Amino acid sequence: MTRPNDSRALMESILTAPVYDVAIESALDPAPNLSRRLGHQVLLKREDLQPVFSFKLRGAYTKMARLDRAELDRGVVAASAGNHAQGVALAAQRLGCRASIVMPATTPEIKVRAVADRGAKVELFGDSYGEAYERALALAREHGATFVHAYDDPDVIAGQGTIGMELLRQRPRDLHAVFVPVGGGGLIAGIAAYIKWLKPEVKVIGVEPVDADAMYRSLQAGTRVTLEEVGLFADGVAVKRVGEATFDLCRKYVDEVLRVDGDAICAAIQDVFEDTRSILEPAGALAVAGLKQWAEREGNYGRTLVAIASGANMNFDRLRHVAERAALGEKREALLAVTIPERPGSFREFCALIGRRSVTEFNYRYADPKKAHVFVGLEVQSASEVDLLLATLEDAGLPALDLSGNELAKLHLRHLVGGHAPANHEKLFRFEFPERPGALLNFLERLRGDWNISLFHYRNHGADYGRALVGFQVPPESESQLHHLLDDIGYRRWHETYNPVYRLFLGPSSSGT
Residue type, 146: T
**What single-letter DSSP state applies at residue 107?**
S
C-alpha 322/C-alpha 95 separation (Å) is: 38
Among candidates 41, 5, 504, which has minimal Cα distance to 300? 41
- Of residues 208, 425, 229, 445, the one with CA closest to residue 310: 208
Q: How far, in Å, CA of 133 to CA of 155, rounded?
A: 19
Strands (E), 389-465: 400-402, 426-433, 452-459
Q: How many CB atoms lie within 10 A of CB 382?
A: 12
| Triad 88, 313, 130: Cα angle to 5° | 60
Rounded CA-CA distance 78/69 in Å is 18
Residue 110 · residue 315 · CB < 8 Å: yes
d(CA 296, CA 301): 10
C-alpha–C-alpha distance, residues 94 and 60, integer Å: 12
**Rounded CA gap, 48 and 278, in Å?**
9
Instruction: Report CA Rg, the chain.
Output: 25
Burial state string for 122-143 with b = 16 or more CB within 10 A and e = fewer than 16: beebbbbbbbbbebbeebbeee
Contact at 8 Å (CB) between 160 and 6? no
Cα–Cα distances in Å, from 186 out to 102, 158, 214, 424, 490?
19, 9, 13, 53, 32
Residues designated as active site: 56, 310
Asked if residues 414 and 361 have their Cβ atoms less than 8 Å apart, the reply is yes
What span, in angstroms and rounded, lies between the C-alpha atoms of 482 and 425? 13
Closest by CA position to 461, among listed 280, 300, 311, 319: 319
Which alpha helices (DSSP H) does 41-108 contain, by range? Answer: 57-65, 69-73, 83-95
Instruction: Report how far residue 283's alpha carbon sits from residue 450's, in angstroms, rounded to the nearest whole number.
Output: 42
Strands (E), 197-350: 203-209, 256-260, 304-309, 333-341
